[in-house]
Every structure is written in structure tokens, then in C-alpha cells.
């Protein structure tokens, strides 16, 4: 199955039929609730029985907002699909008889144009399966890097200092994850990418955990160790001061490949048969250096 991001904009893909199908699928509902609970866990909201106002970016049909309400918090959700918001609004109306303060509110908005809220409005932010949409352009006027920068810049402003943002997303490539991390770092965020179940093709989930504390390290994944899209251990780190990215040494070695002397000799012989200029064989051919420069 192809990625929905490749079929066009989210507002077109999630039409009325797709929105109803998404909301009625028990499998999708279960996955959405599981991811939302994990995102709220990574937010590390203090357990002091106080209600927080959270921002739900790409709220869709309101499944994630419903989980936020169950945790006793208030929320505002925004989404680019009107059909998804119609389903979410129906859910809110069904729950309206409870008259709970934890119910949310909805807004039709494209996250790539920036977030239209006052500075320091929210005590936290979550986003489920929406961030990767900004990595694709649906018109000549859309530049993924520019849209990501507008989004993260506005997110930095609307969060109160000390708050966190947890954005779950599905990157198509490692380069997309790095691009997202770089844009978040440039506006001042710190944090990193956490990958739950990195060795599972189906259960693997990526979470971009952002904060204002530059000494903050990415939380541990569900496997019990810090992981990243690029491998266990090191990973892509978001840092507003240094704007650095660390890649796993294991992955760098893997990309370069281990070239034995026999492989090199065979390669050179093949090049000679093709009539190409090849360096002469010496006693140093294929020899490993004892130490690094």
C-alpha cells in the first residue's frame, strides 16, 4: 500500500468517505488510542490533578482528543481536513451531555502555514501521524523546509516555557527525520527522536520529543534504551544551541562497507579488463591502518 502523503494533500485524501472509514475502523481506533497514550506519557505532565490546556495538531476525527479528555485535560485540535473535523464535531456533540470541562474545541487550519494562537497559550502539544505531511509539496508554492520552519517557529511561540511537545510521525526516509530535527533545532527546540520497538516493522513508532531545556535528553524508548531512526544508542539529537546531529557509528560503517583485500584485488582486475587506469598493486593494497588520523 502506497503512503497517503504521495496521493496529494491531506485535505483531499481525507474526504468524507475516508474520514468515516478511518473513524469506524476498530484497528485504527485502537492504534490511535495507543499512540496518544504514549504521547501523553512522553509529555511528562506533572501528576498534580490540575487540568492542562493541550494543543492537538492534526486532530483528525477527534480520537486523540477523546483520550486527552479521559486524562482530565482540556484541548484544542486543528486539522486541514474539514471532513475529518465534521466527524470530530459529531463526537464532541455526542459527549456534550456529560458537560465536562475536559471537552475540546476544533479549528480548521493548515499546520504548514503556522499556528494562529497567542504566545504561551498551551501547556503541551501532541500530534499523531501528521508531521510527515509537511515533508511533501502539493504545489509549486509549497517548499517542505519552509513549511516545517513556519510550523516549528509558531509552535515554539504558542507553548509556555517549560512545556513539551510530542509529535508522532512516520518518516519515509532517514533524511526526512533529519530534516524535521534540523528545522526544530533552528527555532530553538531541544530534545530528540525516540523510536519505540525499532526492530519491528509493524509496531515501530517515531516520536519527536521537544522541550525548551537544552540539557534534556530524549526519553527512553519502550525497549528500555534510547533509540533513534538511525539506530540504537546515538541517534538524531535536537539542540537549539549547537544544532548538531549525531549518527550512529555502526550505521556509518555499514554504509561504507567492509572491503577485504580479496574484494579490492578482484575489483581492480575487473577495472583493468575494462581498459581503465588502475593503481599498481603493492604490499599496502587492502591493508588496514592501525590507528585513525
| Span 164-217, pLDDT tens digits | 999 999 999 999 999 999 999 999 999 999 999 998 888 999 999 999 988 777
CA distance to 97, 112, 213, 221, per residue, from 193 (Å): 39, 20, 15, 10
Q: Are residues 213 and 162 in the same domain?
A: yes
Q: Are residues 175 and 274 both part of a single domain? A: no
User: What is the pLDDT at residue 282?
Assistant: 85
Of 29-38, 73-82, 182-191, 269-278, which gets the smallest average pLDDT?
Answer: 269-278
Same domain? For 15 and 138 the reply is: yes
Beta bridge partners of 82: none
Q: Is the pLDDT of residue 52 over 60?
A: yes
CB 127 within 8 A of CB 170: no
189 & 274 share domain: no
Clarify whether residues 232 and 278 are in a common domain: no
Cα angle for residues 82, 184, 254 (degrees, 5° grid): 110
The reply to whether 110 and 235 lie within a common domain is yes
* Same domain membership, residue 158 and residue 55: yes
| Same domain flag for 228 and 277 | no
How many structural domains is the chain composed of?
A: 2
**pLDDT grade, residue 240 (50/70/90)?**
low
Q: Which of 11-15, 131-135, 278-282 has the highest mean pLDDT?
A: 131-135
pLDDT over 80 at 145, yes or no:
yes
- 285 and 144 inside one domain: no
Residue 148 vs residue 232, higher pLDDT: 148
Q: Which domain holds residue 128?
A: 4-252
**Contact partners, residue 272, CB within 8 Å, separation at least 6:** 278
- Among 39-43, 170-174, 221-225, the range scoring the smallest mean pLDDT is 221-225
Spell out the residues 6+ positions from residue 128 whose beta carbon is closer than 8 angstroms to its own.
32, 35, 36, 39, 56, 58, 60, 64, 168
How much is the pLDDT for 291? 61
Q: In terms of domains, do 156 and 287 share one? A: no
- DSSP label of 34: H
Supply angle C-alpha 280, 285, 290, rounded to 5: 150
Give mean pLDDT, residues 108-128.
97
Res. 256: pLDDT tops 70: no
pLDDT at 98 over 70: no
Asked whether residue 176 falls in the same domain as residue 283, the answer is no
Query: Do 190 and 270 have their domain in common?
Result: no
Q: What is the percentage of the chain residues whose pLDDT exceeds 70?
A: 82
* Residue that wins the pLDDT comparison between 290 and 126: 126
Q: Are strands 53-57 and 159-169 parallel, antiparallel or unpaired?
A: unpaired
Q: What is the mean pLDDT of the chain?
A: 84
Amino acid at each position: 500500500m502506497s503512503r497517503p502523503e504521495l496521493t496529494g494533500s491531506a485535505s483531499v485524501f481525507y474526504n468524507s468517505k475516508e474520514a468515516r472509514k478511518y473513524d469506524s475502523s476498530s484497528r485504527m481506533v485502537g492504534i490511535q488510542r495507543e499512540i496518544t497514550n504514549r504521547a501523553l506519557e512522553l509529555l511528562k505532565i506533572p501528576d498534580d490533578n490540575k487540568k492542562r490546556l493541550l494543543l492537538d495538531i492534526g486532530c483528525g476525527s477527534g480520537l486523540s482528543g477523546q483520550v486527552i479528555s479521559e486524562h482530565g485535560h482540556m484541548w484544542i485540535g486543528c486539522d486541514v481536513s474539514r471532513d475529518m473535523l465534521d466527524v470530530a464535531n459529531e463526537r464532541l456533540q455526542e459527549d456534550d451531555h456529560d458537560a465536562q470541562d475536559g471537552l475540546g474545541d476544533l479549528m480548521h487550519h493548515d499546520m504548514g502555514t503556522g499556528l494562529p494562537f497567542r504566545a504561551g497559550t498551551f501547556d503541551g502539544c501532541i500530534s499523531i501521524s501528521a508531521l510527515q505531511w509537511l515533508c511533501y509539496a502539493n504545489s509549486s508554492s509549497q517548499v517542505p523546509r519552509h513549511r516545517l520552519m513556519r510550523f516549528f517557529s509558531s509552535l515554539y511561540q504558542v507553548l509556555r516555557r517549560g512545556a513539551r511537545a510530542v509529535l508522532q510521525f512516520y518518516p519515509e526516509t532517514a533524511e526526512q527525520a533529519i530534516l524535521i530535527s534540523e528545522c526544530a533545532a533552528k527555532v530553538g527546540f531541544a530534545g530528540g527522536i525516540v523510536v519505540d520497538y525499532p526492530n519491528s516493522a509493524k509496531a515501530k513508532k517515531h516520536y519527536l520529543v521537544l522541550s525548551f531545556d537544552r540539557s534534556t535528553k530524549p526519553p527512553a524508548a519502550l525497549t528500555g534504551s534510547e533509540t533513534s531512526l538511525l539506530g540504537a544508542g546515538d541517534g538524531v539529537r535536537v539542540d537549539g544551541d549547537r544544532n548538531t546531529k549525531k549518527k550512529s557509528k555502526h550505521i556509518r560503517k555499514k554504509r561504507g562497507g567492509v572491503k577485504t583485500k580479496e574484494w579490492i584485488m578482484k575489483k581492480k582486475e575487473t577495472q583493468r579488463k575494462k581498459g581503465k587506469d588502475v593503481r599498481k598493486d603493492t604490499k599496502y593494497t587492502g591493508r588496514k591502518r592501525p590507528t585513525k588520523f
